[in-house]
Amino acid sequence: MPLDAKYKRLANNTLLFAVSNFSAKLLSIVLQPYITFAMGQVEEVGITKLVQNIGSLLIPLVSMGVSYAIIRFGLDEKVKKGAVFTDGLVTILTGFVLMLCCYPLLRFIPLFAEYAPFLYIHVLVSCLRTWCTQFVRSRQLNRLVAVDGVLCSATNLGFTILFLSGFHMGAKGYVLAIICSDALSALFVFSIAGLGRYLRARYFSAALWRQMLAYALPMVPAQISFWVINASDLFFVQAMCGGYKDQTGEYWTGLLGVGYFLPTILSVLGTIFYEAWQLSAVTEKEGRQRFFSRVFGLYQSLLFCCCSGIILLCRPLMFIFKANFFDAWQFVPMLAIGTLFSCLNQFLNSIYMVEKRSTLSLYTMLAGAVVNCLLNWAFIPLMGPVGVTLASFLSYFVVFILRAVNTRGLLRLDYAPLRLSFNLAMVLAEAGLMIFQTPYWPLWCTLLTAGVCAFNFQGVLGIALQLLGKGRRRRRA
Amino acid identity at 270: G
Q: Answer yes or no: are the C-beta atoms of 419 and 363 closer than 8 Å.
A: no
Tens of pLDDT, residue by residue over 204-250, are 999 999 999 998 888 788 778 877 777 778 889 988 998 888 888 88
123 Cα distance to chain centroid: 17
Q: Which one has a higher pLDDT value, 31 or 126?
A: 126
Hey, is 243 helix, strand or coil? coil
- Mean pLDDT, residues 87-109 taken together: 93
Query: Do 307 and 337 contact (CB within 8 A), yes or no?
Result: yes
Nearest to 69 by CA among 201, 202, 185, 220: 220
Q: Using pLDDT thresholds of 50, 70 and 90, give the confidence band for residue 56.
A: confident
Mention every residue, 6+ apart, whose C-beta is less than 8 A from residue 64. Answer: 91, 92, 94, 95, 213, 216, 217, 220
**CB atoms closer than 10 angstroms to residue 195:** 19
d(CA 461, CA 466): 9
What does each C-alpha distance from 266 to 102, 108, 272 come to in angstroms? 35, 34, 10
Q: Are 95 and 123 in contact (CB under 8 A)?
A: no
Q: What is the pLDDT of residues 13-42, one digit of tens each?
A: 666 555 555 556 566 666 677 777 777 576
Distance CA 84, CA 74 (A): 6
In tens, the pLDDT along 408-427 reads: 888 888 888 999 999 999 99
Residue 446 pLDDT: 95
Mean pLDDT (the chain) is 85
Q: How many CA atoms lie within 13 A of 344 on its CB side?
A: 31
DSSP for 295-330? HHHHHHHHHHHHHHHHHHHHHHHGGGS-GGGGGGGG
Q: What is the distance between the alpha carbons of residues 46 and 256, in angstroms, rounded to a whole number?
A: 8
Give me the DSSP letters along 334-383: HHHHHHHHHHHHHHHHHHHHHHT-HHHHHHHHHHHHHHHHHHHHHHHHHH
Which among 72-76, 92-96, 278-282 has the top mean pLDDT?
92-96
Measured CA to CA in angstroms, residue 317 lies from 60, 206, 209, 259, 450 at distances of 33, 53, 48, 11, 19
**With pLDDT > 90 as the criterion, what percentage of the chain qualifies?**
43
Model pLDDT, residue 345:
92
Q: How many residues does the chain have?
A: 477
Q: What is the DSSP letter of 102?
A: T
| Whole-prediction pTM | 0.73
Amino acid of residue 38? A
Report d(CA 375, CA 123) in Å as an integer.
30
